[in-house]
Amino acid sequence: MAHAKKVCVAVIGVGNCASSLAQGVHYYRDAQAEDFVPGLMHVDMAGYHVNGIEFSAAFDIDQNKVGKDISEAIYTAPNNTYRFADVPHLGAKVYRGMTHDGLGKYLARIIKKAPGQTDDIVKILKDTGTDVVVNYLPVGSETATKWYVEQILRAGVGFVNCVPVFIARENYWQQRFKEANLPMIGDDIKSQVGATIVHRMLARLFRERGVKLERTMQLNVGGNTDFYNMLDRDRLESKKISKTNAVTSQLDYDLGEDNVHIGPSDYVPWLSDRKWAYIRLEGRTFGDVPLNVEHPDDLAHEMTEAFIREESVTSPGAGDVLEPSNGHKMQTTVD
């Protein structure tokens, strides 16, 4: 296999998503360009092959993860995602990040902050030759995300925002990245086949078949830390906006706020990293005859999702805010 171009990736938040990404990079390191890899649009994109992704560093605040090699930290509790690859020692350490609002009241019950001061993020990104930073902070980490984005801009590296904190869709941040001539993708990573895309497709199906959608809802339950954290309703505002827009953007009329309910609903520990989504659409067909569609979904989630992310980090060029890709990989599209 020809030598792939390298892209050095640092990760903020070594949780389940980071675990899937690291496992996927290892699992598909020998894939051929013409292979069908579930969830990857291109094994090799413009000379960037999966095996060109090298992890340079990670940032977390969990005392059980900070100081470890990424290959160890990804299998450390409370991470509980599917283990489909044994990632070898990567020589890339988890450094002490900045807490800010990263730990909500629920996560603070199960995650103990690592002692010591925040490491020098800008210096680490520069010293490790990082090209791109991927953000996997918990939902509701508004201040922490913005703080890390400032470090990223100062270090002069690209950014992929996988969390529902609005960065890539905001003019202000678009301008900052353009001025710095740095690429950025976001916001809020979309699962390969998750509740959002299924719900979007059903809403689009109604529109394309001329059914007037009148009311819809999506209830999600899961058993990972993402869902545990989302029990704190105060952290959910942008997540709800992000997921709701992903569906309502499929319609060319306003459903009315009270007729759409989309959002995480509860935490069920025994589901572990599985997610259960209940989707319902109510509409009217020819002759005003009611049509109701219900769709329960059992989604083993994280393991498929990482591969879309891998692609995200290989594609940007300098100064690009990659809007067209958003609808495919990100829940929140640029307005």
Ligand X SMILES: NC(=O)c1ccc[n+]([C@@H]2O[C@H](COP(=O)([O-])OP(=O)(O)OC[C@H]3O[C@@H](n4cnc5c(N)ncnc54)[C@H](O)[C@@H]3O)[C@@H](O)[C@H]2O)c1
How many CB atoms are located within 10 Å of the residue 312 CB? Answer: 23
Nearer to ligand X, 7 or 14 (CB): 14
Q: Segment contacting ligand X (CB under 6 A): 6-14, 151-159, 177-185, 246-254?
A: 6-14
Least separation in angstroms between CB 13 and ligand X: 3
Pairwise CA distance, residues 240 & 234, whole Å: 11
The reply on whether position 102 binds ligand X by CB under 6 A is yes
Of 231-290, which residues contact ligand X (CB under 6 A)?
Answer: none
User: Interface mask (CB under 6 A) for ligand X, residues 193-212, using x and -?
Assistant: -x------------------
Distance, CA of 179 to chain centre: 25
Q: Segment contacting ligand X (CB under 6 A): 95-103, 199-207, 283-291, 307-315?
A: 95-103
The strand pairing partners of 217, in sequence order, are 261, 280
# chain residues binding ligand X, by CB under 6 A: 35
190: phi then psi, degrees, rounded to nearest 5? -105, 135
Q: According to CB under 6 A, which one of 7, 53, 139, 308 is a site residue for ligand X?
A: 139
Q: Segment contacting ligand X (CB under 6 A): 26-34, 37-45, 98-106, 307-315?
A: 98-106
What is the 3-state secondary structure of 65-82? CCCCEHHHHCCCCCCCCC
Of 286-325, which residues contact ligand X (CB under 6 A)?
Answer: 301-302, 305
The dihedral through the CA atoms of 278, 191, 20, 55 has a sign that is: negative
Q: According to CB under 6 A, which one of 8, 50, 66, 163 is a site residue for ligand X?
A: 163
- Kindly provide the b/e burial profile for residues 101-129, where b requires at least 16 CB atoms within 10 angstroms of the residue's own CB: bbbbebbeeebeebeeebbebbebbeebe
The reply on whether position 186 binds ligand X by CB under 6 A is no
Q: Segment contacting ligand X (CB under 6 A): 37-45, 135-143, 249-257, 321-329?
A: 135-143
Of 9-48, which residues contact ligand X (CB under 6 A)?
Answer: 12-17
Least separation in angstroms between CB 157 and ligand X: 16
Least separation in angstroms between CB 164 and ligand X: 6
Report DSSP letters for 207-262, one per residue: HHTT-EEEEEEEEEEE-SHHHHHTTSGGG-HHHHHHHHHHHHTT-SS---GGGEEE
Q: According to CB under 6 A, which one of 131, 226, 282, 310 is a site residue for ligand X?
A: 226
Pairwise CA distance, residues 42 & 45, whole Å: 6
Encoding tokens for residue 204? 């689009």
What SS3 state is found at 158? strand
Encoding tokens for residue 133? 């930073």
The reply on whether position 131 binds ligand X by CB under 6 A is no
Least separation in angstroms between CB 256 and ligand X: 26
Nearer to ligand X, 103 or 157 (CB): 103
Nearest Cα to 290, choosing from 199, 198, 214, 204? 214
Pairwise CA distance, residues 335 & 320, whole Å: 16
Least separation in angstroms between CB 64 and ligand X: 9
Residue nearest to ligand X (CB): 15
Least separation in angstroms between CB 301 and ligand X: 5
Encoding tokens for residue 99? 């807490």
DSSP state of 122: H
User: Interface mask (CB under 6 A) for ligand X, residues 49-88, using x and -?
Assistant: ----------xxxx----------------x---------
Positions touching ligand X (CB under 6 A) are 12-17, 59-62, 79, 97-100, 102-103, 111, 136-139, 144, 162-163, 188-189, 191, 194, 224-226, 301-302, 305
